Structure 1
């Protein structure tokens, strides 16, 4: 069963959704049959690659939200994070363009460590206060997961993965995705937002039952025929 997840590194609900989704998946007996593919989405592609802001500067300048209101909103998200097991550090979070971070995610797919890279990027941004738009920061993250430094530098300073990232953006548009996190469950169902663990558990189980699990008989084999004859 395949799960596609559109996400952006600087989206706190994406991190919460990831945690809740993984907790739900861990409970299910078919967890080893599930393939997760992380897809790229940019909440604000207008940010210049060299531009950085604090969370509160971003809310004020880009969203027109005063700091008092921003702190109230962030406090609510922080509490959601704690309930999910995440200690957000919004005071030190650096808002920046995340295109390069998405390129790194696609590089990680080549090594089958996209899930680990997604987690590392979230930690770097939301916990450690690192600039996930900075090439040196991203190369260090790649090295921490065993990716060759030269290979990471080549991927991040060239256009090697630009098309892959843009393809994810186009797929999101085609699916009508305007916000993240956004989950597509085996091409059958969609889930939007950082839903609770219980919701993900039910959605995954339903999807598995309807699209993957063997057919369940609602009757016996009476009054039917097969290669050996008919049963009456």
Structure 2
């Protein structure tokens, strides 16, 4: 069963959604049959690549939100994060253009390490207060996951992975996705937002039952039948 997740590195609800989704998945007997594919989405592609802002400044200048209101919003998100096992550190968080981070994520996908990279990027951004648009920061994250330094540097500084990132964004737009996180469950159902663990669990169970699980026998008992070993009554 394939789960596609559209996400942006600077979206706190994407991090919360990731943790809640993973907690739900761990409860399910078919967890080893689930393939997760992370897809790129940019909440604010207009941000400059080589500039950073603190979170309060970003809300004030870019979104027109008063500082007191922004502080209250971040406090609420921090409490939500604790419920998902995340200690957000918004005082250190640096807002920047995330396109390069998404290129690194696509490189990690080629090494079957996209989930590990997604987690590393969230930690770098929300916990450690690192600039996830900075080449050196991104290359360092890649090296920690065993990805070659030169390969990571080329991926982040060249345009060789631009197409993959833009295709994810285009696919989201074509499917009417305007916010993240956005989960597509085996091409049949969607779950939008950082839902609670039980919502993810129910959605995954329903999707598995309808798209993967073998036919359910409605007869209630075993009737006369034949198989490769013969017939029985």
Please name the residue that 1:48 is paired with.
Answer: 48
Please name the residue that 1:6 is paired with.
Answer: 6
Q: Cα offset for 1:174?
A: 1.0
Please name the residue that 2:73 is paired with.
Answer: 73
Q: Secondary structure at the match of 2:71?
A: helix
Please name the residue that 1:136 is paired with.
Answer: 136
Name the count of aligned residue pairs.
Answer: 230
CA distance in 1, matches of 2:29, 2:223: 32
- Indicate how the Cα distance of structure 1 residues 143 and 225 shifts in structure 2: closer, same or farther if over 3 A, else same: closer
Q: Secondary structure at the match of 2:191?
A: strand
CA distance in 1, matches of 2:92, 2:41: 23
**1:208 lines up with 2:170 in the alignment:** no
CA distance in 1, matches of 2:116, 2:52: 25
In the TM superposition, what whole-angstrom CA distance separates every residue of 1:176-205 from its partner, at most 9, and x where no partner exists? 000000000000000000000011000000
Please name the residue that 2:82 is paired with.
Answer: 82
Q: Cα offset for 1:224?
A: 9.2
Q: Secondary structure at the match of 2:200?
A: helix
CA distance in 1, matches of 2:222, 2:175: 42
CA distance in 1, matches of 2:205, 2:226: 33
For structure 1, the residue ranges without an aligned partner over 5 or more in a row are none
Structure-to-structure mapping, 1:42-191, within 5 angstroms: 42-191=42-191
CA distance in 2, matches of 1:222, 1:118: 51
Q: Cα offset for 1:214?
A: 0.3
CA distance in 2, matches of 1:225, 1:149: 60
Q: Secondary structure at the match of 1:91?
A: coil
Q: Secondary structure at the match of 1:178?
A: coil
Q: Secondary structure at the match of 1:10?
A: coil
Please name the residue that 1:198 is paired with.
Answer: 198
Q: Secondary structure at the match of 2:38?
A: strand
Using the size of structure 2 for normalisation, the TM-score is: 0.95
CA distance in 2, matches of 1:183, 1:203: 10
Using the size of structure 1 for normalisation, the TM-score is: 0.95
Q: What RMSD, in angstroms, separates the aligned Cα atoms of the two structures?
A: 1.7
For structure 2, the residue ranges without an aligned partner over 5 or more in a row are none
Structure 1 stretches of at least 4 aligned residues deviating more than 4 Å after TM superposition:
220-227
CA distance in 2, matches of 1:96, 1:32: 35
CA distance in 2, matches of 1:204, 1:47: 35
